[in-house]
A and B are shown apart, each in its own frame.
Chain A
Amino acid sequence: MGFLLWQGVSASARQHPERLAVQDADGSISYAQLERGSDQLATLLGSWGIGRGDRVAILMPKSVRSVITMVGTSKAGAAYVPVDPAAPVARSAFIIGNAAARVLVTNKRLLGALTELMPQLTSVQAILVADLDSADAPAAAVATHTWDAVTATEPRNANRATIEDDPAYILYTSGSTGTPKGVVISHRNALTFVEWGLDVYHPKAEDRFSNHAPLHFDLSVFDIYCALHSGASVHLVPDRLAPFPMELAKWIEEKRISIWYSVPSALIRMLQQGQLERFTYESLRVLNFAGEVFPVKHLRPVMERFSHASFYNLYGPTETNVCTFLEVPRPLPPEITDLSIGHSCANYDCFAVSEDGTRSKLGEEGELVVRGPGVALGYWGLPERTAQSFVQNPLHADFVDLAYRTGDIVTTATDGSFTFLGRRDHMVKTRGYRVELGEIEHVLHQHSAVNAAAVFSVPDEDIGARLWAAVVPEGSLTSEDLVGFCKTRLPHYAIPETFVLVPEMPRTSTGKVDRRALADSLVPTTRSTGTHA
């Protein structure tokens, strides 16, 4: 085994040069083509002076060329930063600037959308427009190249200076202080997870992985690298089909997908609107889900429809990769009403800690703490925030031993498995996306007619949580104004579904906004969850 994420890809290319590696809506590449393309990109980046200690931002809809860019950036020794192509442009620009990316790989449309903000992105010294093949690059203030620059490069050997503790990629997640924060994942962190996947699922070169999650979401790490480390193919779900449950079900059948991984809400939508009974999905042998709780009442019928697949519940915040997992028993015993998140993955030590800092007793609530080589290096450029979450192992002080405090409250069963109960802070999961309520409140507070704002979540069986915002206006303000304001600053999934204008905020005895009281007074016949201060 190599120590770097790209080495397993090169090993597959040596073993299976002619096999299909990556397929997108427009085409596909073999392992030999992936190897050559990523070598060319690495060489090109090297010729621009990009290497170890640098970042390359990838802002475009996922494609074969996104994967070439990820592998090529790794080979150059730099870390890649996948940026959500569906997010508002101001958010994308923040991420590119925050990561101080020296190269931006994007497409023509998104480059156009970024034009006004480009002068602020002073770290970017070169742009590669991946959907242009002509020799004529669009005129821009920064050196701009088309994909021709990649294909015209004579490939040389990969950068040999990188070590396993160097950052491989940075994934940005919602940040409670109002701006996204980057989770820095090293080669070793990522490989710990990928090696676990190879060990559990034994993928073969004949396997066909789907990739449903976007590239800035860590579910995609499994799809891409477990496939490419085993000589299998990875099939990127076309953006055009992803929102349409009937099309998606047909795609799984037609592509003969054997290993699927997505958030439960995508599966629930297929169950409810995808007419799953049309097909048999005989190729589908593994179905992984993660990112949110899968209500058992929906899981049972999904398991019936995908009757050939083994189901796995994977758990883990971006900061740890997947750190616990459960193979769902089939048949699922009728007495099971809530799914556990299972046991620690190989090379992970997960345990629950009580408020007094000692290990929680069996059955008692505690915060899940995770240690091991899969735990991220920290948050990019945020040493204080990093120190709050990546802490000395609370169970001893004998030597330096960092562990990640997940903020997730769990109980431990007698067999060592964990059950997730909720959060100890204001982070919620909606449609599998991680959202800090504080980030939304921060945006609302920037509106000149907002005097005070509080965001709270309402539990929802299908999508995890629905977001509500209560706003005390200052002057004239409508819900429409607020939606319009949020949509240029927040991703779709983080925009509250309901805005309520209130005359004043209820407060707790300590003067904090009482989100629970807000939910109780505003939301009809439901109750709030996990958001009390």
Chain B
Amino acid sequence: MHRAGLIKYIQTNLLQDNGAIDADESLIDRGIVDSIGLMQIMQFVETNEGVRIPDHMVTPENFQSVTAIEQMVEKLRAT
């Protein structure tokens, strides 16, 4: 997965304080993954990574950090 692209997308579009995020940081605690943020991230990942995220994989564990999203995308690619 293009990790830097996702981080840049989140920083540009979803992070409210113009700061930076770390790949392992909790996106939920930082207020990035609320229902709107989650949909935007899903749309970005599906468009840019060419994967379709099935409903059962839309879980707090898979979206808790950029690293977790990356691992989910790799899992989707492998199947």
Q: Does B16 contact A (CB under 8 A)?
A: yes
Q: Does B21 contact A (CB under 8 A)?
A: no
Contact residues in B for A396 (Cβ distance below 8 Å): none
* Mask of B24-56 contacts with A, CB within 8 angstroms, 1/0: 000011010111111000000000000000011
Specify the chain B residue showing the minimal Cβ separation from A485.
B18
Q: Is the CB of B55 within 8 A of A246?
A: yes
Specify the chain B residue showing the minimal Cβ separation from A269.
B35
Q: Is the CB of A488 within 8 A of B58?
A: no
> Which of B14, B55, B60 is the one whose CB lies under 8 Å from A241?
B60
Q: Does B71 contact A (CB under 8 A)?
A: no
Instruction: Give the docked Cα–Cα distance between A273 and B33 (Å).
Output: 16
Specify the chain A residue showing the minimal Cβ separation from B36.
A492
Take A246-B55, A247-B60, A273-B58 as given contacts and tell me if A488 and B12 are in contact as well, using a CB distance cutoff of 8 Å: no
Instruction: Give the docked Cα–Cα distance between A127 and B17 (Å).
Output: 22
Instruction: Give the docked Cα–Cα distance between A242 and B55 (Å).
Output: 15
Q: Is the CB of B60 within 8 A of A244?
A: yes
Measured between C-beta atoms, what is the minimum distance from B23 to chain A in Å?
19
Instruction: Give the docked Cα–Cα distance between A484 and B18 (Å).
Output: 8
Measured between C-beta atoms, what is the minimum distance from B62 to chain A in Å?
9
Which residues of A from 447 to 498 have beta carbons under 8 Å from B? 480, 483-484, 487-488, 492-493
Q: Is the CB of A89 within 8 A of B34?
A: no
Q: Does B15 contact A (CB under 8 A)?
A: yes
Measured between C-beta atoms, what is the minimum distance from B75 to chain A in Å?
17
Q: Is the CB of A242 within 8 A of B59?
A: no
Contact residues in A for B15 (Cβ distance below 8 Å): 487
Q: Is the CB of A480 within 8 A of B12?
A: yes
Q: Is the CB of A113 within 8 A of B55?
A: no
Instruction: Give the docked Cα–Cα distance between A341 and B59 (Å).
Output: 35
Tell me if B's interface is mostly helix, strand, loop or mixed.
loop
Contact residues in B for A88 (Cβ distance below 8 Å): 16-17
Specify the chain B residue showing the minimal Cβ separation from A484.
B12
Q: Does A85 contact B (CB under 8 A)?
A: yes
Measured between C-beta atoms, what is the minimum distance from A215 to chain B in Å?
15
Chain B contact patch, size range: 20 to 34
Contact residues in A for B17 (Cβ distance below 8 Å): 88-89, 113, 488
> Which of A243, A246, A431 is the one whose CB lies under 8 Å from B33?
A243
Measured between C-beta atoms, what is the minimum distance from B9 to chain A in Å?
10
Measured between C-beta atoms, what is the minimum distance from A73 to chain B in Å?
24
Q: Does A266 contact B (CB under 8 A)?
A: yes
Instruction: Give the docked Cα–Cα distance between A55 and B35 (Å).
Output: 30
* Mask of A58-94 contacts with B, CB within 8 angstroms, 1/0: 0000000000000000000000000001111100000
Specify the chain B residue showing the minimal Cβ separation from A275.
B55
Q: Is the CB of A242 within 8 A of B34?
A: yes
Q: Does A274 contact B (CB under 8 A)?
A: yes
Q: Is the CB of B55 within 8 A of A483?
A: no
Specify the chain B residue showing the minimal Cβ separation from A238.
B60
Contact residues in A for B37 (Cβ distance below 8 Å): 243, 492
> Which of B14, B18, B28, B29 is the one whose CB lies under 8 Å from A109?
B29
Q: Is the CB of B58 within 8 A of A487?
A: no
Q: Is the CB of B59 within 8 A of A89?
A: no
Q: Does A239 contact B (CB under 8 A)?
A: yes
Q: Does A240 contact B (CB under 8 A)?
A: yes
Measured between C-beta atoms, what is the minimum distance from A384 to chain B in Å?
31
Contact residues in B for A487 (Cβ distance below 8 Å): 13-16
Q: Is the CB of A431 within 8 A of B35?
A: yes
Take A240-B28, A243-B35, A245-B55 as given contacts and tell me if A89 and B16 are in contact as well, using a CB distance cutoff of 8 Å: yes
Q: Is the CB of B59 within 8 A of A85?
A: no
> Which of A246, A269, A488 is the one whose CB lies under 8 Å from B59?
A246
Measured between C-beta atoms, what is the minimum distance from B69 to chain A in Å?
14
Instruction: Give the docked Cα–Cα distance between A89 and B29 (Å).
Output: 15
Q: Is the CB of A274 within 8 A of B55?
A: yes
Measured between C-beta atoms, what is the minimum distance from B37 to chain A in Å?
6
Instruction: Give the docked Cα–Cα distance between A88 and B16 (Å).
Output: 6
Q: Is the CB of B31 within 8 A of A86?
A: yes
Q: Is the CB of B58 within 8 A of A85?
A: no
Q: Which of B12, B18, B34 is the most central at the interface, judged by chain A CB atoms within 10 Å of its CB?
A: B34
